[in-house]
Every structure is written in structure tokens, then in C-alpha cells.
Amino acid sequence: MDKCYHSEFDVSNNTSKQVLCDINIPTDIVLIGAGIMSATLGIFLKILEPKFTIKIYEKLAKGAQESSNVWNNAGTGHAAFCELNYTKEKEDGSIDIDKAIEISESFEISRQFWAYLVKQKILNNPKSFINNIPHMSIVWGKKNINFLQNRFQKLQNSILFKGMYYSEKHQKINEWAPLIINGRNPNQKIAATYMKTGTDVNFEEITQQILNKLQGYNNVKIYYKNKITKIKKDNNDTWTLSTSNNKHKKIHARYIFIGAGGASLKLLQTTGIKKINKYAGFPVGGQFLVTNNQTIVHKHLAKVYTQSPTNTPPMSAPHMDTRIINGEKMLLFGPFATFNSKFLKYGSWLDLFYSLNRYNLLPLLEAGYDNFKLIKYLINQLMMTKKDKINALKEFYPKAELKDWKLIQAGQRVQIIKKNKNKRASLQFGTELISSSDNTLIALLGASPGASTAASISLEIINKMFQQSTNTTSWNNKLKIIIPSYNQKLDGNEILTNEIRQYVCSILELTNIKINLNDSK
């Protein structure tokens, strides 16, 4: 039996005492999955309440091997600078930037959190996990050019997007990203936006560094090769978790966070939480073309996104990205969708079928019927040869050659299918928190932009789970030290935005541009 130090914690007065515990005494919180979300939430809680006992369960041999793995995502620091699906065009032709502002605010919180962790020496060497890579959007065709221009003009109303440039001139775009222009028809009408302060992020590196720090605490235990199989609410307001560990078949916890990626849905279905009955999951995988041919790589320094092709879902938006992985620059292009029934890259072929029940089968069928364009898109993607994929790349990089690129398999995502009240089920593109009625159990469902917004999602979880504590002076003051803009909006606040960005960039060794609302580009 493992010895651990257990804190008997009273959230009503924010006090605790440590006692030697055994396996039958509830852990303060269990985190399921050792990815970016559990690592972020775990270190947040250790900073706020050092005496908390925490157990992390991960079914693989090490952390950050699913969606957080450096090869399983595009590494985009999602700040809504380049991702066109965060700025929807309304029926009247106007551009809705609310989602873009929300995403950008969330990423600013993540950067503040990482800066704090660097100051505390929890994260080391910022260049190992975050680097400036300009973010660009590029479009072609009159309708798309009009959209991008309108989007750019609307974004200029927000301080968060000041410093962005717009151009329809080949010569200027060539300065930003030569590979895009070299070999392109000079008469083709194109338009691009450019944001110098975009970033490339290695979420696996962040996760591993935090997990290594967490393992050093004597009241934190990480169990690898250990799968949680079932969760049940006890009569005494705690939870019992069944595990695959032969030594500890059952454990007890006061609080639970399920951050197990695609496995979260199946675990939620074991909890008895009724609201999960209206949810189903739709698994989608991805592939990327990659080159490390340095002659090519040195001619491109940007993450370049365009719009999803007509009648395809938002997840299909292609992009050509500079990546920095272990200090090496390379280029990545995709994603190309793949489909199988696994909910995790290292999951089971039966995952999709095991997730079906009498409650969510109809929502899944409804979503499939209503999203014929998704089914058609997946079929077309599955039929693509490598040559077809190179031809798709040539829309970005006209001189691309097959010999310079290889295909890699990326991560597996599970898109949420949700049955809304009095409405048919629909496919959701984003993330959502699902909680028990008393908020002692919370799970994260969905995909992008989860990793980039891990800190703001963690704050939301903390405020739900430990509301009484977050209202205390002690926790509130700590949160303001960790996140200097805590409970404040940057959008519309020129002074605060410049202060926060200068502080963050100086610590994370990033480029900063001091801006004001009267700037025009």
C-alpha cells in the first residue's frame, strides 16, 4: 500500500490539515488523463492549495501521448489571428468577431499562466515550448477576398488584433511568405493578413515539464499504465473509481476531473449523470504532410490558414505551418481527415460501438443524416492519394514536389454530438464542460482549441468546483498573482493589454508590439 499525505480540506473556511492516509481515505482530487488539461489543472491547484492530495491516472506509459503530443496537433497557439472559422459571416454580410475575441482572451490567459510558471521555475527554457511564428490567413477568389477584407476591418475594432496587416499585393505577401507566391500565376487575385506576434506551441513539452514538477510533490501521485474503468457516486458525497491496477482496484475521491480526450465520454456514461445521455461522439482522425528539407523550410516562416472548402465542416480548414520541434524547424500541411471507430489514437476499434446506448443512438443518426456534407467530405478525404494531397498543398505552395514530403498520422479527436431541447441532435465543433449537479465531477468534451485555452478552462473548472474557496481573499490574491488580468477583460482596455503583453513577452522571450486603438494598418 502506498503511503500518502492526505489533507482534510474544508472549503467553507479554506483550512486543511495533513494526515497519513491509506487507500480507503478519499483523495482530494483525481485527474484522469495525463495531458495538457490535467497537468494545467493539477499545478494550478497545487499553487492555490499546496496541501491538496492529487492522483493522476494515465492508461499509457507516459503523459501527453494523445492530443497533447507534439505530432498529434498543429502546435498553433490559437489566438484567432489566422483561423477564419472563428469569425463567421452573418446573413447580412457583417462579420461576427465575438468568438475570435473570446479565443484570443483565453490564449492571453494561457500565456500569463506559462509566464508565471517560468518565474516559479516550474517551466524551463521558454524557447523549448513557445516561439514566435507569424500567423497568416490567405484566400483567393472575389467572394473570399471580400470576406477577408471585411474580417480584417472588423477585427481592427479590438485592441487584441491591432498590429495585423492586410494586403492583396503579391509583392507584399511574398515578403511575408515567399513559398506562397513563388510559382503562382501573377494574375491570380489573392489576399492575406499577417500577424507578427503569432506563436507555435509545443504542448507536449509544457505537459511533460509540469508533470515532472508535480511528481516531485509528496502528496501528488501519478499512476501510468493505469486505466480508470468506472466512476460511481457514493452515499457520503465522495466518488469511487474502479481502476485496471491490480494493487488498487478502487480508489475514492472528493473531486474528479476527466480530461481523458476521446475516452471522457465513455467514462461519463458510467457516472450516472443523466445529462450525458443526450451526448454522443463522432471520431475523426487526421494526417499531415511534413518536410524537414531545410532548403524549403528556410523560405517559409508562418502559420498560414485558409477557409474550409465549400460544403465542408470547419475542421477541414487547410493550413501550412512552420513548426519548431526540439529546436528543429519543419513545415507541416493539412489536415487530411481519416476515419476509424477509435476514440483515441491508442484506443480500441470498439470505442465508438461501446459508447452507443439507447439514449444517444438516435442523436448520432440524426447528426449523420443532417451532416451529409461531413460524410461526403470524409469519403473524399479517405479516397485521396498522396499525389492528391500534394496537389492540395500546391494551392498554398505552387512548386511543392512529392519527393520532399512524407505523411504522418496525427491525433484522434471526438467531436461532440449533442441533442438540444426540442431540437434535433447536431455536431458541435469546440469544447464543452460537463459537470455533476454538485460540481464535484467535471469533464471536458470536444476538441480544438482545448490545448491553447487550457489555463482559462482550468480557471472555469476551479471556479465551479471550489467556488467558496475562489471567493476567499487567499485564493483570489493568488489567482491575481498567477494571472495578472484575472477577472478583467483585455478587449477594449488598451493600457492593461499593453502591460500584460509586455510582461508576458519579456518572460517568455517573445516579440511584443506596443499598440493603441488608433493604429491603422
Please give the pLDDT value at position 2: 44
Task: Give Cβ neighbours of residue 365 (< 8 Å, ≥ 6 apart).
Answer: none
Distance of alpha carbon 46 from alpha carbon 7, whole angstroms: 12
State the Rg of the chain over Cα: 23
Q: Give CB contacts under 8 A, 24+ apart, made by 243-249.
A: 243/57, 244/59, 247/1, 248/2, 248/23
Q: Which three cell numbers stand for residue 442?
A: 467535471
Is-contact 179 299, C-beta < 8 A?
yes
- For the purposes of burial, counting CB atoms within 10 Å of the CB of 292, is it exposed (0-12), middle (13-18) or buried (19 or more)? middle
- The set of cell numbers assigned to 143 is 467572394
Torsion sign across C-alpha atoms 379, 380, 381, 387: positive
Cis preceding-peptide flag for 449 (omega within 30 of 0): yes
| Inter-residue contact 78 to 452 (CB < 8 Å) | yes
Helix axes 372-383, 361-370, angle to 10 degrees: 80
Task: Answer whether 351's CB lies under 8 Å from 266's CB.
Answer: yes
Transcribe 114-128 into DSSP letters: HHHHHHTTSS--GGG
Contacts of residue 113, defined as CB under 8 A and 6 or more positions apart, other chains included, come to: 40, 44, 455, 482, 483
Residue 408 sits at the vertex; the CA angle it makes with 74 and 392, to the nearest 5 degrees, is 75
Q: Decide if 62 contacts 69 (C-beta within 8 A).
A: no
> Which residues touch 245 (CB under 8 Å, ≥6 apart)?
223, 226
**Count of helices and strands (H, E) across the chain:** 16, 23
Read off φ and ψ for residue 432, nearest 5 degrees.
Answer: -150, 140
DSSP state of 264: H
What global pTM score does this model have?
Answer: 0.90
The owner of cell 499562466 is: 113
pLDDT score of 278: 80
Query: In 3D, which of 216, 175, 210 has the Cα closest to residue 194?
Result: 175
Q: Judge if the upstream peptide bond of residue 335 is cis by omega within 30 degrees of 0.
A: yes
| Distance in angstroms (rounded) separating the CA atoms of residues 334 and 386 | 12
Can you state the angle between helices 98-119 and 494-508, rounded to 10 degrees? Answer: 40
Question: 130-132 and 95-96 as β-strands: parallel, antiparallel, unpaired?
Answer: unpaired
User: What is the four-CA torsion angle of 135, 83, 40, 47, rounded to 10 degrees?
Assistant: 70
Q: How is residue 173 written as a grid cell?
A: 505577401
Q: 3-state class of 39 per DSSP?
A: helix
Taking CA atoms, 268 is separated from 169, 254, 365, 444, 510, in Å, by: 52, 16, 21, 10, 39
Residues in the chain predicted with pLDDT less than 70, given as ranges, are: 1-24, 246-248, 309-316, 367-371, 421-422, 425-429, 448-449, 517-521
The CA-atom distances, in angstroms, between 118 and each of 128, 456, 507 are 12, 18, 7
Output the nine-digit C-alpha cell for 285. 482522425
The three cell numbers locating residue 436: 455533476
Integer Cα distance of 131 and 511 in angstroms:
9
Residue 10: helix, strand or coil by DSSP?
A: strand
Q: For residue 517, what pLDDT is reported?
A: 64
Q: What are residue 255's DSSP bridge partners?
A: 29
Task: Report d(CA 387, CA 390) in Å as an integer.
Answer: 5
For residue 258, the tally of other CB atoms under 10 A from its CB is 26
**Domains plus CATH for the chain?**
4-67+203-273+436-487 (3.50.50.60), 81-129+136-197+492-521 (no CATH), 279-422 (no CATH)
